[in-house]
Chains A and B, each alone.
Chain A
Amino acid sequence: MSDQDVPNESGISRRKFLKISALTTSAPLVLGPTVLHVAGEDVHVFGPGKVPVALNVNGKRLTANLEPRVTLLDALREKFEVTGPKRVCDRGACGACTVLLDNKAVYACSILAIEAQQKPIITTEGLAAQGQLHPVSAAFVDNDAQQCGFCTPGFVMATKAFVDKHPTATREEIARGLGGNFCRCGTYDGIKGAVAQLSKGGQQKGGA
Chain B
Amino acid sequence: MAQYQWPEASKRKLIGKSMNRVDGPAKASGRAKYTYDIVRPNMLYGDSVKCPYAHARVKSIDTSAAEKMPGVKAVHVIHGPDDGAKGEVFWAGTDIVAVAAVDEPTARDAVRAIKVEYEQLPHLVENDKEPNLAEAEKSEWYKVASKENVGDAASAFQQSEVTHEGYYGQPVITHCCLETHGSIAEWPDPDHLFLHISTQNVPGIGEQVAKAIDLPASNVHVHQDHVGGGFGSKLGLDPWGVAAAQLSKKAGGAPVKMMLDRATELETAGCRPSAYARVKVGAKKDGTLLAWQSYSWGSGGPGGGGSLALPYVWKVPNQQKQHVNVVNNIGPARAWRAPNHPQMCLITMGALDDLAAKLNMDTFDFVKKNIDLLDPRSKVYSEELDVADKLMQWKSRWHPRGDKAAGPVKQGLGLALHTWGGRGHNSKCDLSIHPDGSVEIKMGTQDIGTGTRTSILTVAADTLGLPINAINLQIGDNQYPPDSASGGSSTIGGVSSSTFRAASDARDQLFAKVAPALNAQPGDLEAIDGHVRVASNPSRSLSWKEACSKLGTQTLTVRGTNPGEGDLTNSGVGGVQMADVSVDTETGIVKVNKIVAVQDCGLVISPKQAESQVLGAMIMGVSYALYEEKVMDQTTGVMLNTNMDTYRLAGLGDVGELVVHLMTGPGYDEKGVIGIGEPPTVSPGAAISNAVANAIGVRVPHLPLTPERVLEALEKSPSEGGRA
Contact = CB atoms under 8 A, between A and B. Distances in A.
A88 B262 contact: yes
B29 A208 contact: no
B469 to A, nearest CB: 12
A22 B25 CA distance: 46
B644 A88 contact: yes
Nearest to B658: A189
B374 interface: no
Contacts, number: 185
Nearest to B620: A186
Given A83-B37, A175-B652, A152 B28 contact: yes
B652 A191 contact: yes
A133 B29 contact: yes
A137 B612 contact: no
Contacts of B651: 175, 179, 181-182, 188
Interface string B596-625: 000000000000110111011111100100
A124 B30 contact: yes
A74 B449 contact: no
B245 to A, nearest CB: 22
Contacts of A138: 25, 28
B25 A137 contact: yes
A192 interface: yes
B603 to A, nearest CB: 20
A123 B30 contact: yes
B262 A175 contact: no
A34 B382 CA distance: 76
Contacts of B612: 144, 147, 187, 190
B655 A188 contact: yes
A148 to B, nearest CB: 3
A148 B228 CA distance: 5
Name A's interface SS.
loop
B178 A148 contact: yes
A23 interface: no
A65 B31 CA distance: 25
Interface in A81-113: 81, 83-91, 93-94, 96
A150 B26 CA distance: 11
Contacts of A152: 27-28, 30
A64 interface: no
A167 interface: no
For chain B, give the interface size range.
35 or more
A144 B227 CA distance: 17
A184 interface: yes
Nearest to B659: A189
| Residue among A144, A176, A179 with max Cβ neighbours from chain B (10 Å) | A144
B178 to A, nearest CB: 4
Interface in B645-685: 645, 649-653, 655, 658
A152 B451 CA distance: 15
B28 A141 contact: yes
A93 B28 contact: no
B644 A182 contact: yes
A137 B615 CA distance: 20
B690 interface: no
Nearest to A83: B37
Interface string A123-137: 111011010011001
Given A83-B37, A89-B262, A148-B449, A184 B30 contact: no
Contacts of A128: 29
A125 B30 CA distance: 5
Given A74-B104, A89-B644, A141-B28, 19 more contacts: A81-B39, A86-B37, A86-B179, A89-B645, A133-B28, A137-B28, A140-B24, A144-B24, A144-B609, A148-B229, A151-B178, A153-B27, A156-B30, A176-B653, A181-B652, A184-B229, A186-B616, A186-B620, A190-B612
Interface of B: 20-21, 23-34, 36-37, 39, 103-105, 176-179, 226-231, 261-262, 448-451, 608-609, 611-613, 615-620, 623, 643-645, 649-653, 655, 658
24 contacts: A83-B34, A83-B36, A86-B36, A86-B179, A91-B644, A91-B645, A124-B28, A137-B29, A141-B25, A144-B612, A148-B179, A148-B449, A150-B226, A151-B178, A152-B28, A153-B27, A175-B652, A182-B644, A182-B649, A183-B178, A183-B649, A184-B177, A185-B616, A188-B619
Interface of A: 67, 69, 74, 77-78, 81, 83-91, 93-94, 96, 123-125, 127-128, 130, 133-134, 137-138, 140-142, 144-153, 156, 172, 174-176, 178-179, 181-192, 208
